[in-house]
Amino acid sequence: MTPELAPEEPLPRRLGRYVLEKLIGRGGMGLVYLARQDELDRHVVVKIVKADLAKDNPELVGRLRREARALGRVSSDHVVMVHEVGIDAGVPYIAMEYVDGVSAAALVKKEGRLPHSEATRIVIGTARGLAAAHAVGVLHRDVKPGNILVGRDGRVKLADFGLARLCDGAPDETALTGAGDMLGTPEFMAPENAEPGILDERSDVYSLGVTYYALLAGRVPFTAQGVMATLRKVLLEPVVPPSRHAPDVPPDVEAVCLRLMARDKRSRPRDAGAALALLTGQIPAVAPMPVDEVDQATVLVKDAQERREASRWLDKAERHLDEGFPGAAEMALENARQLQPDPERLGVLARRRFMRSRVPRGMNCLELDRSRAVALYVSIEPLELPPAEAEARARSRGERLPTASELEAIRRLRDVPANGFLTVKDPPPG
């Protein structure tokens, strides 16, 4: 049942004690092979970092070792076992237990969606493995159907601890890439991924809940182009219940699924052990979960993320206005309005945008006080008529002569010729 992929390049037939038989996977870290260990007459999975990548990206080798350390800590029938870590001919590798079966993602791709009983069985098995990891201080951080293996015999095992975090006080080297991009699968990331440094067991529980949703509904609840775009949906949009996509999902199953992926992590089970109790009916889905008071600040994750994004859009709007692009400014302002912008700054910029869009022909919009969006439409023309007649004509166009204070402010901003006839027009209210 293990698929074979076309090899990318020739490799040594043997790595350490393992004979490589076929390529079965590839990813950012390297390649995954089905291999055979002749001494014990068994198949294993060998994950490697190619020599050229290992030389140029020592972080990949570090991730391979961290995966081995994480797997070495966890003892569970529902987690793949690590056999060995080594380097042969300059190629770092890790040898792991081989599960003869397919991933839960492959099952969903084949079936469309799974019966709720089978989906629940798979998620319970995954929760058992995840609970064993949490019990020894390991966060998985990439729980998803593609990392859950279902054997021919029905066994369920959690795999791929490449992004695992050991809660041992060591620096978190897997949270970001060198470019500052988040690692992981956006569709399964918890909302708190928008804020660095506050992930805990409940973040894994959220990913477990989204996995449950995907198995039940045959689709993930949120998807978009890019990590932050997806997280924005996770933060802002309501979850469509899985029963909308799969009407046969029972209400109690749906309630458990939605509880696992609660937006406020204080409403989720505190770890995978508590999630397992919820899944197996040991506690009701509506029972309140314990809340750690030290996590009160995380309730503000959504608001903080929205405010930062709104501020970026307002910065863009102001830049577009300064450069004379009111249309682009309006688009930026509209994006900001969908979030939580500073209302005073939004009002000022919206006023500036409004004035820019309503400038009468032959006049300029002169901002006397940008911080308060105080402006006048100003016209400076040669004095070709007697002053009284020029003023009468200006009034017929709805213009007027500036007051002394306005004239002083205008002269600070503009050169007014000695023979120039200056009139102003007040922008419409609003």
Topology at the third CATH level for domain 101-287 = Transferase(Phosphotransferase); domain 1 (1.10.510)
- What is the DSSP track for 40-73? GTEEEEEEE--HHHHHH-HHHHHHHHHHHHHHHH
More confident residue, 298 or 172: 172
pLDDT at 183: 63
pLDDT at 7: 54
pLDDT at residue 12 tops 70: no
More confident residue, 141 or 390: 141
pLDDT at 299: 38
Quote the pTM value: 0.63
- What is the DSSP track for 22-38? EEEEE-SS-EEEEEEEG
pLDDT tens digits, 143-193: 999 999 999 999 999 998 888 887 654 444 444 333 334 567 889 999 888
pLDDT at 305: 66
Characterize the bridge pairing of strands 148-151 and 156-158: antiparallel
More confident residue, 317 or 125: 125
| Distance, CA of 188 to CA of 190 (rounded, Å) | 7
* Mean pLDDT to the nearest integer, 101-114: 95
pLDDT at 41: 93
CB atoms inside a 10 Å sphere around CB 185:
20
Regarding the domain with residue range 14-97, which homologous superfamily does it belong to in the CATH classification? Phosphorylase Kinase; domain 1 (3.30.200.20)
pLDDT bracket for residue 52 (50, 70, 90) = low
Task: Please answer whether residues 31 and 48 qualify as being in contact, where contact means their C-beta atoms are separated by less than 8 angstroms.
Answer: yes
pLDDT at 375: 60
pLDDT bracket for residue 297 (50, 70, 90) = very low
Range of weakest confidence among 113-122, 235-244, 355-364, 383-392 = 355-364
Q: Just list the catalytic residues.
A: 142
Ordered by start, the domain boundaries in the chain are 14-97, 101-287, 300-357, 363-430
Both tokens assigned to 197? 């440094």
